Amino acid sequence: MTFYELYLRSFYDSNGDGLGDLQGLKQKLDYLCDLGIDYVWLLPIMKSPAFHGYTVSNFFEVNPVYGDLKDLRETLQEGHKKGIKFILDFPINHVAVTSEWFQRALRGEEPYKNWFIWANEKADLEEKRHWDESKIWQKIGDRYFYGIFGPASPDLNFESKELWDEIKRIFKFWLDNGFDGFRLDAAKHIFDFDIEKMRFHYQHEKNIEFWKEMVSYIKSIKNDALVISEVWDAPEIVRKYEGIFDIGFNFPLAEDLKMTLKNESPQDLVETLKKCMTEYLPNGKVLSMSGNFLTNHDMTRILSDLKDVGKVKLGFSILYTLPGIPFIYYGEETGMKGIPVDVNFTEDSQEPFHWYENGFGPGQTEWKGYKFNPPYSGESVEEQINEKNSILNTIKNLIKFRKSNPWIDDARIEILNFDQNMVKLRCYSQLNEFIAYYNLKSSKCSVLLENGEELLSIGNNKVTQGYVELSHYGVYLMKKS
């Protein structure tokens, strides 16, 4: 399986208003099919006052800038006909201050007033969240509410079982409208506040209880629905949630793999795989599948981070030859750039997708200017589609290889060897295997090959007399005879 994280506003515009929309996605499903995508992960499309959609004002309504429920159903149905499934990003930790729930809570209405956390005499109104200096208490009128993600985002109080029932209704609504599963935003934050002590505190046991019940409910509605979790934390915290969800995003792998590529260090790659892919080593046990990715909407885009097309290709080559489930963020396949820089930071990594060399043409989104990806920068589909060694065609080839070898999803890995230049890795199942050679350096290196056939070659690699000369950041896959 290959997943494509898609920000609808930036993708393809069907009506000329400059904003990507559902009908635009429908018109470009063939592009995603040609790329080889199995699942589209749609960033939030519910009604929201925010450009990013993560503060929802109505969970039962499509954001009007994207279309309506009819547009949604048509798009999902057409995608299903083409073999593409759809995952909805589901941000339920908090809502928008403009949401009906919060407005009714402010008026003291039941049950809504109990769906939020209000400061009392125990609360320290100066308390800050642990990863920066932002306050967790937000003032509205003469009251304070708990909002760890800012004054526009009041957190929901999941101590209320009535709220659990309402969340189930929302899950059912979107499944009934054609979605094939959910990506659960900020999954570790559902219970991140201690009501008794009135302070910020992760309560992983309560989180796990909540998510077990929700996942069970989702599966009771659609037994093959996929549930993906975002638990952005250290490996020991991530592992607490294994076995609850079908797929868990492997944030440690993403961070460590990028550092490995920056350092051009074979030893770092070996240590990264041992630390972040433990479950896939020979004696490992997989409880939830590893969601493997390089960047997402909250991060600096990969080419802006690595600053080298060769390293980007190497990064994706490693990603697509590891077990687990690979994810790609829209625009990464053409080398789009973007760096989160301010309070609306994700906006700078969510620029319009480049369809055309000059930045203009049918369906081109124009909701914001090109800060990182100007026209004629080589980052458009038009410029790359016929260039054999472009990032686009490299990723197409990697996805094609992956789709031809679905056994890799559940495979195991064994590190066979590494030296100052490269890492040699075996990926295997009971019936299949391949050997991968990764050159981590900007210079060529020569490697003795075992007898066998070539499966995939990324880079200007040359095979002669039992050796392969790996080009800079080159990758070579072979099957032993």
The yes-or-no verdict on residue 413 having pLDDT over 60 is: yes
What span, in angstroms and rounded, lies between the C-alpha atoms of 47 and 105? 19
Secondary structure (3-state) at 462: strand
* pLDDT band with cut points at 50, 70 and 90 for residue 420: very high
Residue-averaged pLDDT of the chain: 95
Q: pTM for the full model?
A: 0.96
Rounded to 5°, angle at Cα 315 from 314 and 318: 85
Percentage of the chain beyond pLDDT 70 is: 99
Average of pLDDT values for 20-48? 98
Whole-number pLDDT of residue 236: 86
pLDDT, residue 346, reads 63
Indicate which residue of 127, 166, 185, 271 is catalytic: 185
Please check the confidence at residue 344 and state whether its pLDDT lies above 60: no
Mean pLDDT calculated for residue range 308-323? 98
List, for residues 142-177, the tens digit of each pLDDT value: 999 999 999 999 999 999 999 999 999 999 999 999
The whole-number average pLDDT for the span 35-45 is 98
Q: Which residues pair with 182 in a beta bridge?
A: 88, 227
- What angle (nearest 5°) sits at the alpha carbon of residue 213, between those of residues 209 and 214? 115
Please say if 185 is a catalytic residue. Answer: yes
Q: What is the pLDDT of residue 164?
A: 98
Is the pLDDT reported for residue 253 higher than 90?
Answer: yes
Structure-derived torsion over alpha carbons of residues 393, 398, 404, 406, reported in degrees to the nearest 10 = -140
Q: Which residues share a beta bridge with 289?
A: 247
pLDDT, tens only, 355-385: 999 999 999 999 888 889 999 999 999 999 9
Residue 319 has pLDDT above 90, yes or no: yes
With 90 as the cut, is the pLDDT of residue 133 above it?
Answer: no
SS (H, E, C) 208-268: HHHHHHHHHHHHHHCCCCEEEECCCCCHHHHHHHCCCCCEEECHHHHHHHHHHHHHCCHHH
Q: What mean pLDDT do residues 56-71 have?
A: 98
As given in the structure block, the two tokens for residue 44 are 């939030």
User: How far, in Å, CA of 173 to CA of 217, rounded?
Assistant: 13
230 is catalytic: yes
d(CA 145, CA 64) in angstroms, rounded, equals 29
Instruction: Single out the catalytic residue among 230, 264, 332, 351.
Output: 230
> Which tops the pLDDT comparison, 431 or 340?
431
For the ranges 12-26, 188-202, 345-359, which has the lowest average pLDDT?
A: 345-359
What is the structure's pLDDT at 349? 83
**Domains, the chain, ranges and CATH?**
3-92+159-404 (3.20.20.80), 100-146 (no CATH), 411-480 (2.60.40.1180)
